[in-house]
Structure 1
């Protein structure tokens, strides 16, 4: 009787949900075998720290993708928002109140940009790929123009201390990533808004017949994405004390999408989880770190990421069959 109960309990556990955790552990063990220095606590902490910036953005883009959209503008938006934050801090002065005001205005700009992209996609009936691709070009062009192709720098000690702050011995970006993931999980899995996102992505027509405002739900997912980018932009620009108009944020859109796809988020919408994206980002971070330790050419790392995305999509398709 006990054996039968144990078998039923074991079967009731959705092992596929936790497969990504086992993959992460396996990758870490494999990396440790290839390079013993990989498993040093300092290196593991660095992986988590470096992953946090893309991971936060990936969490936001998960909302967009589950609703059936895509956002290719996040990398350029990060550079623009980071530049906005630094310019505001430089203008308002190195006071705590000034830094807080600068951060709040940066978030307000992020909300407006996200809402604008969302409206163009939904009310303007422009495909998300085109809208966000255009946004990517516009944001990068603006930050390049304002900086004359140079670098935005700040001497504000209060602002730069944000990105370099440690809490309980852990870097602030890492803690923000964890807390942000928890909040996003609650929003996506435990609220009506989250249920509507899944409904819209799974079947738009059925969602409309269920009295769900499809356009507004999709629009707000881009707002969530914008807020995520602003959070990452503030943490990254304060840590670096600068934003390069030409290179900051480059490739972040690919990494964020890759993290979401690795975590099980469907490119066609209706499926995904914050849990999966969180560990998908960490897997990507481990792979990046492993490639560096193995002295793989930087120019080839994009090839590896591309193959990972293709492989993850193939696995998703195989599961559907």
Structure 2
């Protein structure tokens, strides 16, 4: 496993991180989660990403149990706050109330006294940014998190949040956008802003929900036990990629990968990790052997001709519109009251 500093911070993360959004979904057992975490540790992965909303809190609980007995100082544990965690009007968003209550609940479920990075899962337009950042500062100054991060914030939101974090003497060090060879949206505005601010990327869906493994073939039925067949396993996020033109283009990566002795998944992960602003890519799995295979992408350096071949194969079906980041978060100030 290779490692890299997260942005310009002192925190070092594994180039491949383990995320349990899908692994600990309603259709996966805790035994699978335990096996996947063990496979991640065996592969040298030290960075683990989760969120309070995943599987209604069960993801944090399972991860906490799976990591029990590991040396806490040798791990980087990241979780998130924003999405609804209860039926109340204040059980969501980035208010002081929700952040202060959510961090304590996450720490209890994770069975730890701190997380390494506490992340805003989305931007909350209904709460003053000053209130949100002051609440995050309270969390850091109380020793419940070392750093803070964000997910799917726009470049402007990042700049405003980063400036407030500096005033409050806390470190906003990470951004977690969706990023893959098919979804290059962050390259337009997010990554340049982060490079300017010293913020690193820990990207999610680097394999486009499994499409960049090459297992989905155009004009064919989806494989048994794949996410495309499981309505509880992220299929709504996967659906936009399951188009014949996209799948046909992904198959054009096969000879490129074969020529390097790689799988399409390893090639696609190596492509993501090639970007200088990407510190780590979060992978999930339904089987532990997938983690061992994908972790091998860390440390692979792709030559310019290989990068050009990937661009040529995928070019017409790549998403690049920076506006897609804005579309992924609530925009109306009264969204919580809807």
Q: Tell me if both proteins adopt one fold, taking TM over 0.5 as the criterion.
A: no
TM-score for both structures, normalised by structure 2: 0.22
Which has the larger share of helix?
1
TM-score for both structures, normalised by structure 1: 0.23
Larger Rg: 1
| Structure with the larger RCO, 1 or 2 (CA within 8 Å, 6+ apart) | 1
